[in-house]
Structure 1
Amino acid sequence: MPEIDELTRSIEKRIKNIGELEDSVRGYINTTRYQNDLLKDSDNWNQICCSLDTIDDTLYSQQDYLSAKYPSSDGLKYVFTYGLLQALFIQQDAMRHLSEAFGIEFQLTDRLEEIRSLRNASIGHPTKNKTKGSTYYNYISRMSLEKHGFTLMRSFDQGNNEFIDIEIYPIIDDQLKDIESSYKILSEKLAEADKVHREKYKDNLLSDIFHSSMSYTISKVAEGIHSPHGSNVTFALSMLNSIQKTYKKFEDALQERGELNDYTKYDLDEYNHALSRLKDYLAGNASDLCDSDARIYYFYIREQHKHFEQIASEVDDEYREKV
């Protein structure tokens, strides 16, 4: 059937496109700078995640409906039909709730409204379906049930009857067209928000916080440990103060950008602890530390600094590359 083959290809393409749009939204919400903010409202966060998963799940159901062999038994025919129509209904709600979570109004098109009405009549409330002032009693014609659709008989207003031929493939294709359109609006909004954020900081580099003399500053701390006479110790303490101020500025800059994740915060806390312990040692306030302890702390400070320089460089590269 050429028409069915064409619709199948169209549906598969739309499912692929929606999958790519979903990836872009997931990439946004899983980026530290946005995830930290979104997690402040756990209900909204769960609404986003649940909606994304539900849309994805319903796409699987539609994909498998196309590829699966339609059952020969009447009971399973109903299960297939009920399941597919319910998946369409759930998918619409999930797209609406996903949009809502990001402050975007999701408008049901006339076609989506029609699909909801067909679902309600066929499997939602078939035994007493009130619509526009009339009450309908709906019957799926068992003998008409097939993978591509079925005939629905509707009785209403004391003996009036109508017959509706419901075609499944056009319904799936039309719905996915509107879902794709709504997903695209959301994806573009998030991409624009991300661009604005990057533009704000792209010329304010984290790497610049670690000034070119940082290696010299750190090396002077070593002199206070290895040659601990008065002037060396005093100078080493002033260098440690300078390093602490630099790292406070680095942490604040990460926090402002929303780039301070739990792992980096943990590393920074450890680094600041090492700096404080060395200051106590050089000031004579750490009787529990010996020269070997101080040298180990110094080695950690010197080497771990490279780790933070790498973090700064990676964040800077990301901001410059994607603006």
Structure 2
Amino acid sequence: MKELSRNIRDLCNHPWKRELVFQDRIKWNKLWTSLDAIEDTQLAIDSYLNLEDFSSNNGGYLFIYGVMQALNIQQDAANNLLSALYDKTINFKTEYPDLYQIREHRNNSIGHPTKRGNDKSFHFIGRASIKKSGFTLASYYPKTGETSKFEDINIIQCIETQDDLIKNILTETMGKLESDFQKHKNKFKGKKLADFIHNDFHYEFSKLYENVGRDYPLAGMNFDIICEGYNKVKEGIKDRYFTIEALQGVQYTTQKLDYIFNRLKRDLIDNKISDEFELSIFIDALESNFKELQEMIDEIDKEFE
């Protein structure tokens, strides 16, 4: 359970999924609270399993109330996890009848024992029956005339059943996340961001430097070539991760590059200033930060190979 939950966390924290879910803050918070609740309730359930045997006189009611509630919360958390990721709601009664039965045991015994279904039934735990392995639940149906019944609830079996089925839900969830990510990556198969950068723009950068000390007539054209490649790279990153902000390092580098491009457009291309040192420094900064972005692009291309 813990490993499955951790794997789902890791993939949901991947920039591709994180940015997609983060656009809806309700789903974002539902996702992480659901994962927390799945793990936290498992801690509670494991603590129950590690208890010594008990009776009603030494914590039995508290332990039973706690573990039955933990089982119910864990099911709700799994349900809400799917709701956050896929807008899916589990119908426990039809899809997971064994989990539904556990929910009914919880509702009857510690959830709503004094009034179920608009006075349809009433329930109580037999005090003398309480032990770690379970308890006897008495049920009465005065409104419907159904026969009263006494049912032995095996808590250990409930825990084992739920463990298997919640693991199945998490495994299917992880499988769908991996499948969705692979489909997303396949859209960019054979399409590298590095292809937008022709020969690392060595020639184009050299012509920018030439425009510092003299008026090089094609400086604007070479500047535009670099800008066009840069903008295509940014759009390619957005296509892969939905926003530039998904990758903090890329975001910081592109913010600097945006500023440098604007300054050079103004001071080197449109209305060239006379300060050759300042122009050279800005071209140096453009080339340096562009190389830094290229290294990031190479990592992105590897991930989407």
TM-score grouping bracket, smaller chain normalisation: 0.7 to 0.9
TM-aligned CA deviation for residue 119 of structure 1: 0.7
* Compared CA separation, residues 318 and 283, structure 1 to 2 (3 A): closer
TM-aligned CA deviation for residue 65 of structure 1: 1.7
CA contact (8 A) 1:33 1:260 kept: no
Answer yes or no: is 1:151 the counterpart of 2:155.
Answer: no
Match of 2:88 in 1: 104
Alpha-carbon separation, structure 2, partners of 1:164 and 1:254: 60
Match of 1:243 in 2: 226
Answer yes or no: is 1:180 the counterpart of 2:163.
Answer: no
Query: Where do residues 66-85 of structure 1 align in structure 2 (5 Å cutoff)?
Result: 66-69=49-52, 74=57, 76-85=59-68
Alpha-carbon separation, structure 1, partners of 2:129 and 2:16: 54
Of 64-73 and 165-174, more deviation after overlay is shown by 64-73
Alpha-carbon separation, structure 2, partners of 1:93 and 1:126: 20
CA contact (8 A) 2:266 2:272 kept: yes
CA contact (8 A) 1:38 1:45 kept: yes
Match of 1:302 in 2: 287
Alignment partner of 1:271 out of 257, 273, 283: 257
CA contact (8 A) 2:44 2:70 kept: yes
Deviations 1:114-157 (A, max 9, x none): 111111111111223349x9523x23233332222222233444
* Compared CA separation, residues 128 and 72, structure 1 to 2 (3 A): closer
CA contact (8 A) 2:55 2:131 kept: no
Query: Where do residues 189-228 of structure 1 align in structure 2 (5 Å cutoff)?
Result: 189-225=176-212, 228=213
Deviations 1:42-97 (A, max 9, x none): 22222222222221221121122222446677363211110110111111122122
Of 38-47 and 192-201, more deviation after overlay is shown by 38-47
TM-aligned CA deviation for residue 174 of structure 1: 0.5
Match of 2:126 in 1: 141
TM-aligned CA deviation for residue 309 of structure 1: 0.8
* Compared CA separation, residues 59 and 73, structure 1 to 2 (3 A): same
Match of 1:52 in 2: 35
CA contact (8 A) 2:208 2:223 kept: yes
Give the TM-score normalised by structure 2: 0.87
- SS of structure 2 residue aligned to 1:74: coil
Matched residues, percent identical? 29
Alpha-carbon separation, structure 2, partners of 1:77 and 1:286: 83
Match of 1:316 in 2: 301
Give the TM-score normalised by structure 1: 0.82
- SS of structure 1 residue aligned to 2:207: helix
- SS of structure 1 residue aligned to 2:136: strand
Match of 2:156 in 1: 169
Deviations 1:219-246 (A, max 9, x none): 3322222xx1223xx3333322211111
Alpha-carbon separation, structure 2, partners of 1:152 and 1:110: 20
Alpha-carbon separation, structure 1, partners of 2:235 and 2:269: 27
The one-letter code sitting in structure 2 at the alignment partner of 1:219 is S
TM-aligned CA deviation for residue 192 of structure 1: 1.3
Give ranges in structure 2 of 5+ residues lacking alignment. none
Of 82-91 and 277-286, more deviation after overlay is shown by 277-286
The one-letter code sitting in structure 2 at the alignment partner of 1:307 is E
- SS of structure 1 residue aligned to 2:187: helix
TM-aligned CA deviation for residue 286 of structure 1: 6.2
